[in-house]
Amino acid sequence: MPTPAITIDSINQPPGFFELLGSPQLTACWWRQGEGLIGLGQVARLQASSAAAIQEWWRAWLKDQPVVQDPQLQGNSWAEPLAFISFPFRRGGVHEIVVPRQIWGSRGQQCWLTSLPADQPDPPTTAALPAGRQPAAASDDHCSVGPIDCPTPTTPGSAPEINRPIHYQPEGLGHEAWLQAVRQAIQAIAEGRLEKVVLARAESTDWPAQLSAGAVVQQLATLYPTTWTFAVAGLIGATPELLVSLEHGRLSSRVLAGSIRPDGQATRRGQLLAQSAKDQSEHRFAVASVAAALRPHAQTLTVPDQPAILQLPNVIHLASDLGGQALPGRSVLDLGEAIHPSAAVCGTPVGAALEFIDASEQLDRGRYSGPVGWINQSGDGQIGLALRCGQINDATIRLFAGAGIVADSDPEGEWDETQAKLAAMKQALAAALDSQTDR
């Protein structure tokens, strides 16, 4: 019997993408400013111990898989068979790949639906799994969304007023212990053992059984439309940092490092950030580490001389956009593996920074600050860093934030920075709960 085809159909009447983001059937997404990919249901999911194992599995899964694509969509790399990925901060940790049953896409003037047949063959296995883990079985979730002519979009409005208090518990280091770790990092920098190190912390709270991940994702897309809102295997967030994008050989990367609270005076605070020697130093380390990682994989690479100011509702960043042409045969996963972990989430030198993090942070980051995004059949895709995010684990959700420590860092100032970054997920979670209560 022939293998059923993956179908990719143009949609003349766009669906209500904002509603799809909030669907209880949401299993994966990558969304920014009204464009992106929304995955519903699940055909296959794999946990492996390396990006190479994930890439090998993905290629094997696609082998001999027929695809029927609307000719109008040819050349659109987002409208190919694709999967969503989420990798750990630490090499050797659990790497995730998810293949949804349906992927609804929007880009420019094009909208489409990628459908995988219900009787899809079982996914192949790979030998490179963490001990005791097996690939997730194909789901029997057939998705009830459709038909193709769905309701017209709903324009996201302002976030609802937040009335419900949510209590968070610190994980790992508390306030004073974390400040002491920052002081120790500054001392290590003064002694020449480090140039920069990123210290993270986490807070957790109960995950209400009645709340879907999609409800929070929908709020993130509303509150932070200029970030990349993502969801993969229980990790949800809205990252401002694009680790690497690859399309038809063109690569790009957005580096963020150095930040400040807006405090209601975004323009003036942005000017202060641009003039901050501490933040400029932190940013240079991050840009240099990404550029050095990409150069062996690029025919050309353009690196800006000075960063720009990126203003978000809860934090202002120094930002640099790198671009160039990748060498033939490179996939987006190859490029992501080359860059990660960069100075933006780890430190400089990388080895010494990792050792300091292990000794001082007292936190299992999991997939926080790791690569997250999607890869298509051709190896193109987009990968961000899992920042401003939370990991849903059964009855709890863990929220993460970090700060880059350099020679001129102020411990209390770094703590305030993590508070500002945690606010993104806290606000979205509270808004989702309030919205659900109002229904």
Neighbours of 266 (CB within 10 A): 16
The answer for residues whose C-beta is within 8 angstroms of residue 422's C-beta and 6 or more apart is 203, 399, 400, 401
Per-residue three-class SS string for the chain: CCCCCEEEEECCCCCCHHHHHCCCCEEEEEEECCEEEEEECCCEEEEECCHHHHHHHHHHHHCCCCEEECHHHCCCHHHCCEEEEECCCCCCCCEEEEECCEEEEEECCEEEEEECCCCCCCCCCCCCCCCCCCCECCCCCCCCCCCCCCCCCCCCCCCCCCCCCCCCEEECCCHHHHHHHHHHHHHHHHCCCCCEEEEEEEEEEECCCCCCHHHHHHHHHHHCCCCEEEEECCEEEEECCEEEEEECCEEEEEEEEEEECCCCCHHHHHHHHHHCHHHHHHHHHHHHHHHHHHHHHEEEEECCCCCEEEECCCCEEEEEEEEEEECCCCCHHHHHHHHCCCCCCCEECHHHHHHHHHHHCCCCCCCCCCEEEEEECCCCEEEEECCCEEEEECCEEEEEEEEEECCCCCHHHHHHHHHHHHHHHHHHHHHHHHHHHHC
pLDDT score at 12: 84
Task: Let me know if 221 is exposed, middle or buried by CB neighbors in 10 A (0-12, 13-18, 19+).
Answer: buried
Q: Which residues are catalytic?
A: 196, 241
pLDDT score at 155: 37
Distance, CA of 306 to CA of 258 (rounded, Å): 13
Which of 9-13, 216-220, 267-271 reaches the highest mean pLDDT?
Answer: 216-220
Neighbours of 10 (CB within 10 A): 15
- The mean pLDDT of 389-394, rounded to a whole number, is 95
- The mean pLDDT of 392-405, rounded to a whole number, is 95
Distance, CA of 123 to CA of 290 (rounded, Å): 34
> Could you report the per-residue pLDDT of 186-225, keeping only the tens digit for each?
999 999 999 999 999 999 999 988 899 999 999 999 999 9
165 band by pLDDT with thresholds 50, 70 and 90: confident
| Mean of the per-residue pLDDT values of the chain | 88
- The mean pLDDT of 403-415, rounded to a whole number, is 94
- The mean pLDDT of 357-386, rounded to a whole number, is 97
Question: What structural domains and CATH numbers belong to the chain?
Answer: 6-141+169-438 (3.60.120.10)
438 band by pLDDT with thresholds 50, 70 and 90: low
Least confident piece of the model among 18-27, 93-102, 149-158, 329-338: 149-158
First-to-last CA distance in the chain? 48
143 band by pLDDT with thresholds 50, 70 and 90: very low
- The mean pLDDT of 16-21, rounded to a whole number, is 92
357 band by pLDDT with thresholds 50, 70 and 90: very high
- 215, amino acid identity: A
Distance, CA of 287 to CA of 74 (rounded, Å): 34
Nearest residue to 385 via CA among 116, 120, 133, 85: 85
pLDDT score at 362: 94
Residue 131 has pLDDT above 70, yes or no: no
139 band by pLDDT with thresholds 50, 70 and 90: very low
**80 vs 157, higher pLDDT:** 80
HSE-CB of 39 using CA atoms within 13 angstroms? 30
Cis check: omega of the bond before 15, within 30 degrees of 0: no
Residue with tokens 């302002």: 158
> Could you report the per-residue pLDDT of 46-74, keeping only the tens digit for each?
999 999 999 999 999 999 889 999 999 99
pTM: 0.88
Least confident piece of the model among 9-13, 21-25, 422-426: 9-13
Q: Return the ∠ at Cα 224 (arms to 87 and 77), rounded to 5°.
A: 55
Cis check: omega of the bond before 349, within 30 degrees of 0: yes
